[in-house]
Structure 1
Amino acid sequence: TLYPSGEEIKKALRFNICRCTGYKKIIEAIQLAAAVFREEISLESETVSWGLGERVVREDVTPKVTGVAEYVDDLYLPDMLYAKVLRSPRPRIYVKRIDTSRARALPGVEAVLTAENIPGHRFQGYIVQDWPALVAEGEETRYLGDALALVAAVTPELALQAVDLIEIEYEELEPITDPVQSLKEGSPQLHPAGNLLSHTHLKRGNLKETLEKCSHVITNRYTTPMVEHAFLEPESALAVPGREGLTVFTGTQSVHHDRKQIASLLGLPEDRVRIINKYVGGAFGGKEDLSVQHHGALLAWVTKKPVKLTLTREESLLVHPKRHPMEMVITTGCNSDGKILALQAEIAFDTGAYASLGGPVLERACTHATGPYSIPIIDINGYAVYTNNPPCGAFRGFGVPQSSFAIEGQLDLMAEKVGISPWEMRYRNALRPGDRLATGQVVGEDTNVVDTLLAVKEEYEKNPYTGIACAIKNAGLGVGLADTGRAVLLVEKGRLKVHTGAACIGQGLAVVLLQMVCETVDIDPELVDVVLADTGLTPDSGATTASRQSLFTGEAVRRAAEKLARDYRGGSLEELEGRRYEGEYLGKTDPLNSPKSDPVTHVAYGFATHVVILDEKGLVQKVIAAHDVGKIANPLGLEGQLEGGIVMGLGFALQEEFLLEEGVPQIRHFGKLGLFKSTQVPQIELIFVEKGLGQEAYGVKGVGEIACIPTAGAVAGAYYKYDGRRRFSLPL
């Protein structure tokens, strides 16, 4: 039909899964296409300004929609070899012997490598170097995804056949799959430093004394599950040796982090390793750690031939880190007016076999455990524990969706004790400018959580089965870590090249940076090229993580563009041929538990309030999301980010769980992950709060993470109103 309804389109798409958009933009695009076929609208694009605030179409739309965009697995080179990996047969084994002789003898096999073939440092890791590229004889494996041997052959089939010919002699050991068991005295030590990866503690005031004075005190235990990122593109890398070094094409969240680790593994100076990002088919935090890059690089370095390693979906689900399952015991106390006076939290999570980013995730879970609320007295303890389960690491929200679910549940229950509405409870306790966070930081004038609450008040109060939740999320690494955005603008052959090492992983960063240039310089956008994430060309602008790139790299681009503007003045780029303009932005922060009286733990925060409305049958009918977004860079991209994040939050709340049994994943297929499908997506209404802007990057705030944080708490609150049952565990 040329007149498809939204429901008809949803039904037609029901066997397709989209993890990024939440389907809404896809449905709208199909309806626009139908209007074109009906000759009601034209395909000719309107001329618009390319400054901030304009609905600009991303430059990568055409290559992606037409299928010409190159992802790593699309690449092919002459004499290219194909790689496969032999992994541990059980989560925890003692490796006695690895016999590769039969595999080496197979015609067409050009390399079979084990731990002894690594020329540099075998243990790598994003922060803690605890993850062996290959487990050696005489060592234990720590999870089912551990690599024991690598094979490179002339065809994928031969490589897989060779893997099957490798013989392992081993002793199976009982895996430790429970964090509580892992910390018990006498438990086997999974790492030399023990089974506790990290401990975070935040304390302010006298908790015991304050709780005794409270009119209402409640304690509850909340749990959230392990969750899979479910990016559409499995991990892939193509490593190409050269005369002086090695080039690796991949899809990563940080080319410079990858270069550092691969150079270390190969025993090479960093300037002899080049990492080039191709199009990235989604990440959500799941492509920060090494997965295939180092293995492909090692094989290419040894064979002196190009080597491609692409994981199957089953391998991808097995290997890369997940969202941390978390257990939280929260105590809150308030006075008779509903003002929360104190919070105690004990947070423990399973970080799995390796550290990944478990330490920082724990910090964010703890520092955000108070939510976007002013709570004067706190005592928060968090523990990240090693087990033989799959590693857990960065995942959209970085520990905050879990602790947000807990604090939002507490507010609902305390509102009931006080005798006020959940909306009123949040309004009375919401952060205002001048209040302090759990870290001691005083929040500034761009703290707009109250505005997001006011924006949803009417809709919340007029529907019977509604839940509400608020959220806060930092932008940038913060906590005293070096955190710098960098950009270089080069004038070459009459064009302006914007170089930055920031990774575009599908979130639309390139168009935001282009808009930053056009906002600062009166220049034709057709003359501007954004060059992203190539260690041979672009400066290190940090990883695409922590909702930081629009702010940090955006500000670096703005500063470089200001220098260009002084020379350009509406002239021609030909007059500036060869000129170079550099921009750098350092987000200065203080470490946790800083002795300063007014520490700054993060340079910016975003805020949001979500309302979830159920229908009479108990199905999610509508989500209303009010977001403090700072300056809106691109409304089209902003809407897509938020809609996708909301649907991801609904999946986290209602049906996603990566099930394990004794450390072995029970889900091996994408379609079994519990992801939301098009027919399940409710109506989504977005409200933007754009006020109290910061100075950097024209006041733009990142929204990649906060989009999915408050949703689960709002869903739980809606079902509490619907049937009177308070649910303390996800998925609901």
Structure 2
Amino acid sequence: MAADRTTSAPTTLTQATGAARGTVGESTLRPDGTLKVTGEFAYSSDLWHEDMLWGFTLRSPHAHAAIRSIDTGEALALPGVYAVMTHADLPAETHYGLEIRDQPVLAKDRVRYHGEPVAIVAADHPETARRAAARIAVEYEELPLVVDEATATAPDAPLLHPGRRDHHAAHVPHPNIVHRQPVRRGDVAAARARADVVVRRDYEVGMQDQAFLGPESGLAVPAEDGGVDLYIATQWLHVDRDQLAPVLGLPADKVRLTLSGVGGAFGAREDMSMQAHACLLALRTGRPVKIVYNRYESFFGHVHRHPAKLTYEHGATCDGTLLYVQCRIVLDGGAYASSSPAVVGNAASLSIGPYVVENVDAEAIALYSNNPPCGAMRGFGAVQACFAYEAQMDAVAAELGLDPVEFRQRNAMSQGATMPTGQLVDSPAPVAELLRRVKARPMPPERAWEAAGGPVDVRALPGGLSNTTHGESVVRGVGYAVGIKNVGFSEGFDDYSTARIRLEVIGGEPVALVHTAMAEVGQGGVTVHAQIARTELGVDRVTLHPADTRVGSAGSTSASRQTYMTGGAIKHTCEAVREEVLRRGRERFGAAHPAWAAAEAPRLA
């Protein structure tokens, strides 16, 4: 099946800026903005192929159970059904994962969370696929549950992943602990003895869902060379490919991914969802297969923010100097590892916040449990810790009788400070000044929604436009908090990005083609990347090639890194292109040409 028969596939975006050149620092329209606001932008759920089938996933109704038998006979007998696959039908590798490949493509002997995929169906209509999945008979035997630290580490706790061999397994106190990271600095016991005030409290952060507007969806098209082309909404094309290829039993160059329109991500699309299932069904049937989750399925189909239980103890002197912080952070990673090790690393490394504390004893762990898998969500690890340490800063300030903002300023980090991990803060960190400016801003009116002598203006109310309140019993409070988070991958992860730039003349006008694998998930990367190309090359017209795996990896669209990393790759590549064009110009026109006499770098157009 030829991939070019796919309709509504991603297209290139060419932008000519008109009067404003749209370089860095200028205001310019988003290349995809008009298409989105007019409803013409093709999201992954809009993909279509003339002879495609529809895929559906049968999921476990139990959080922890042994699978005794699976009977697919009735499902296969339903007219319109082309394939039913279980674990026994997988052609190659059976597990995948971002860091630890512990997650089954389809459950084999055991399910570890409610909603785990057990079987997949391909049919000529989505409703037929759903009805066929309902006819698959699965016999389960429910098993004891692991739901928190106590049940995970009890002497008789069921081991969710017995025989672990991952690189964290030898360094954790129990097999149901995914990863543990301590951070220690100074002498907490000695500092506690000197403290005038000690505040110790427990905090809890619940699980959160990213709830992006566009649920998981994609289209897999079998190719004539035996490979597969997958059009998908994701955050990291190359990591998806690297997990898919072993599962499909194909070399990486025969698993080609192209980014489709992404309806939001927020971390949840870093892990795979329906990618393997669509590709497996497409290769099994020889037909394109589309899978689109509804909202109910989406809650099962992606990772969530880790719920956390946190215990913090802060000690300070009466003049408001923090002497020590001791904390323990327990994150529930759910049934599979996903990015839990990195979340643990962030939580531990950033556990005390943007403050200078000479004595620190911090520990963070992530558990395996029978809860839904948890992974990336904006600011992972840093957010859970921030909730606790900032509540502590308010509580300690209250005990000392100090203004909470002034207390924070007194202990704020700045350039030259050393973090508990030993990392030097080698760039500006104006935490105290930031707090000063925030506090200096005027307070909002106490009841801004009440117009003098007029009706309540619901637009000024939290939740007002949803008609949840008209001002009854609403009290507006003002609080202050400051957090710290990494920009770019954390924990020493090798971070790089790739860009390919082509400069050509079309209709007598120079046009730059920018090709990267960056996932545009709504953050505006396509805008700034085009601006960088215009700035570096001096051209007005920039074409953005659809992101795909035919170019080197751009890394994940996460950790606020794409402007810096992929933008940086574009900048450096444009510089190389510019130098080559100028070299050829000097070679052709001679070194005495007037263009080389300009004080600034010559423009190419």
What is the correspondence of 1:223-622 to structure 2 with a 5 Å cutoff? Answer: 223-244=204-225, 245-459=227-441, 465-492=477-504, 494=506, 495-524=511-540, 527-536=541-550, 538-568=551-581
In structure 2, list runs of 5 or more residues that go unmatched: 1-16, 165-174, 447-476, 589-605
Relative to structure 2, which stretch is displaced further, 555-564 or 341-350?
555-564
Instruction: Answer yes or no: is the 8 Å Cα contact 1:83–1:152 preserved in 2.
Output: yes
CA apart distance, 1:507: 0.7
Q: CA deviation at 1:459?
A: 2.5
Correspondence 1:650-689 to 2 at 5 A: none
Give 1:533's aligned amino acid.
A
- Partners of 1:476 and 1:118 lie apart in 2 by 36
Q: Report the residue type matching 2:549 in the other structure.
A: T
User: What is the aligned-residue identity percentage?
Assistant: 39
For 2:98, the equivalent position in structure 1 comes to 126
Output the CA distance in 2 between the equivalents of 1:160 and 1:493.
51
Question: 1:236-273: CA deviations, max 9, x gaps?
Answer: 01100011110001100011011111101011110010
TM-score normalised by L of structure 2: 0.84
User: Counterpart amino acid of 2:565?
Assistant: F
Q: Deviations over 1:170-211 (max 9, x none)?
A: 212232222321111111111123211110111111111111
Shift of 1:570: 13
Query: What is the aligned partner in structure 2 of residue 105 from structure 1?
Result: 77
Match of 2:185 among 204, 208, 223: 204
Cα distance change on mapping 1:106 and 1:493 into 2, 3 Å: farther
Tell me how far 1:407 sits from its aligned partner: 0.8
Which deviations, in whole Å up to 9, do the C-alpha atoms of 1:472-524 show, x marking residues without a partner?
Answer: 11111132221102111112453211111111111111111111222323221
Letter in 2 for 1:514: A
Equivalences, count: 525
Aligned in 2, Cα 1:321/1:48: closer, same or farther, shift over 3 Å?
same
SS at match of 2:499: strand
Q: Aligned-residue CA RMSD in angstroms?
A: 2.0
Q: Which amino acid aligns with 1:503?
A: A
Deviation at 1:554, TM superposition (A): 1.2
For the pair 1:84 / 2:97, whether they are aligned, the reply is no
Whether contact under 8 Å (2:346, 2:491) holds in the other structure is no
Query: How far apart, CA to CA, are the structure 2 residues paired with 1:355 and 1:419?
Result: 44
What SS class does the counterpart of residue 377 from structure 2 fall into? Answer: coil
Q: 1:462 & 1:79 partners in 2: Cα distance?
A: 58
Q: Is the 8 A contact 1:489 1:499 kept in 2?
A: yes
The residue number in structure 1 matching 2:131 is 161
Tell me if structure 1 keeps the 8 A contact 2:346–2:490: no
Counterparts in 2 of 1:179-198, with a 5 A limit? Answer: 179-192=149-162, 193=164, 194-198=175-179
Relative distance call for 1:461 and 1:439 in structure 2 (3 A) is: farther
Report the Cα offset of residue 158 of structure 1.
1.1
Please tell me whether the aligned partners of residues 218 and 274 of structure 2 are also in contact (alpha carbons under 8 angstroms): yes
| Letter of the structure 1 residue corresponding to residue 197 of structure 2 | H
Cα contact 1:319–1:390 (8 A) shared by 2:
no
Structure 2 Cα separation of the partners of residues 301 and 262 of structure 1: 13
Q: Given the two structures, how large is their TM-score scaled by the length of structure 1? A: 0.70
Q: Secondary structure at the match of 2:515?
A: strand
Structure 1 Cα separation of the partners of residues 386 and 512 of structure 2: 43
What do the CA deviations read for 1:60-97 (whole angstroms, capped 9, x no partner)?
11111111111122111122110111111211111011
Amino acid across the alignment from 1:228? D
The residue type equivalent to 2:101 in the other structure is Q
Q: Which has the larger radius of gyration?
A: 2
Q: Which has the larger displacement, 506-515 or 436-445?
A: 436-445
8 Å contact kept, 2:382–2:485: yes
